[in-house]
């Protein structure tokens, strides 16, 4: 019974029309947070110039960085803390990190990547794309407006390719 209920909720989420999706200027939204984290980490910061997200209001940014990793988060509420209801996207890098997924994708220049589609159980987990460049594992996770895994995969691959094309910030 619980499984049937969860499947019904997942089907409703996939069939629901997207919110007022719009492209978000990732570096511009991160602003001073990007500058602060860049000063604290030796790792290259690779970010897409923009990403279309399910958001119709203000986007709030947070981030941290250190010797072996950095992370940024975009949320629809201040001090979101990664809660499902306000999470929009995250971008992370970790020196020596290990990919967590099996589904392989190819990025520009033949760089290997790994994809995890949207998954729902008690709550939903957004699609994730990981890729490794020069010993650093990068990850993009986002509530993209696409309701199919193939479309979400294309959108995250495009974001990663844009980040690789532009290079470190």
pLDDT, tens only, 123-148? 788 999 999 999 999 999 999 887 78
Of these ranges, 10-19, 37-46, 115-124, the one predicted with the greatest mean pLDDT is 37-46
Token pair 């970010």: residue: 47
Q: Rounded to 5 degrees, what are φ and ψ at 85?
A: -65, -30
* 90, containing H or E segment: strand 87-95
pLDDT attached to residue 14 = 44
Sorting pLDDT into bands at 50, 70 and 90, what band is 20?
A: low
Please report, for residues 25, 28, 68, 77, 98, the alpha-carbon distance to residue 51 in angstroms, rounded to integers and kept in the order given. Answer: 7, 12, 25, 18, 25
Q: How confident is the model at residue 155 (pLDDT cuts 50, 70, 90)?
A: very high
């Amino acid at each position: 019974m619980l499984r049937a209920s969860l499947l019904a909720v997942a089907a409703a989420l996939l069939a629901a029309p997207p919110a007022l999706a719009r492209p978000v200027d990732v570096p511009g939204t991160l602003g001073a947070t990007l500058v602060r984290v860049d000063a604290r980490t030796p790792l290259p910061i690779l970010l897409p110039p923009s990403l279309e997200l399910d958001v119709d209001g203000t986007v709030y940014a947070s981030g941290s960085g250190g010797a072996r990793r950095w992370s940024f988060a975009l949320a629809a509420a201040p001090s979101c803390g990664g809660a499902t209801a306000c999470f929009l996207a995250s971008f992370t890098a970790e020196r020596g990190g290990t990919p967590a997924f099996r589904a392989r994708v190819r990025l520009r220049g033949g760089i290997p990547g790994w994809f995890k589609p949207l998954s729902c159980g008690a709550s939903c987990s957004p699609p994730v794309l990981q890729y490794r460049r020069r010993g650093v594992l990068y990850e993009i996770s986002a509530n993209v407006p696409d309701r199919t895994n193939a479309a979400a995969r294309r959108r995250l691959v495009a974001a990663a390719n844009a980040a690789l094309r532009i290079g470190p910030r």
